[in-house]
Structure 1
Amino acid sequence: CPRGFAGDGVSCADIDECAVVAGGAPYPCDPRATCTNTYGGFNCTCTTEGFTGDGFVCGDVDECALGIDKCDPNARCINKLASYDCACRIGFATVPDTCTFC
């Protein structure tokens, strides 16, 4: 049978690579990804918010480096795993969701 199929060579059936298989083969995708079985194969897609990648490896999105954070212009963006924090710069105080000059 071709790759992605199992059988006796005459009759072949699609293997669900996303299901736990005999022999304890590991889940083929990153733990932060969803596996979708396809005919003769499978796809992995990063689905956990704050992560990106090819589905086999899902890495942290650095919102600060990408400039997609929603920090106040007078705040410094601090990247965290799957998130970020905003810290007001020196001379500014946090007033709900903004940094105000002291």
Structure 2
Amino acid sequence: MLIAGCRTAEHFQDIDIQRLHAKLIEQFCIEAGGPCVYCGDSMERAIRVWELTRSDFNALAEDLQVAMTAEGISIPAQNRLLARLAHIRRQIIDR
């Protein structure tokens, strides 16, 4: 699982981790141009209690890259997804 071994795990101790994973998959699928429907809270609402820093967000992005590499996703495909996720960083960090 993506969050289980990440450096920011303390932010996720008191949440339903399986639901988080499901919602992340939905969000990533949408951002990758897939035929998914996201039916969770807005990203701003969902994460506001975590008080993530730039360093936290970067750690999450690095953990995502590790997970994608482990799944055999090519570097160009990873870069395309990360570029599409950039607006989420603005919602979370640059608010």
Q: Which TM-score bucket, shorter chain as reference?
A: under 0.3
Query: TM-score scaled to structure 2, two decimals?
Result: 0.19
Hey, which of these two has a bigger chunk of helix by percent? 2
Is the radius of gyration larger for structure 1 or structure 2?
Answer: 1
Higher relative contact order (CA 8 A, sep 6+): 2
Hey, which of these two has a bigger chunk of strand by percent? 1
Query: TM-score scaled to structure 1, two decimals?
Result: 0.18
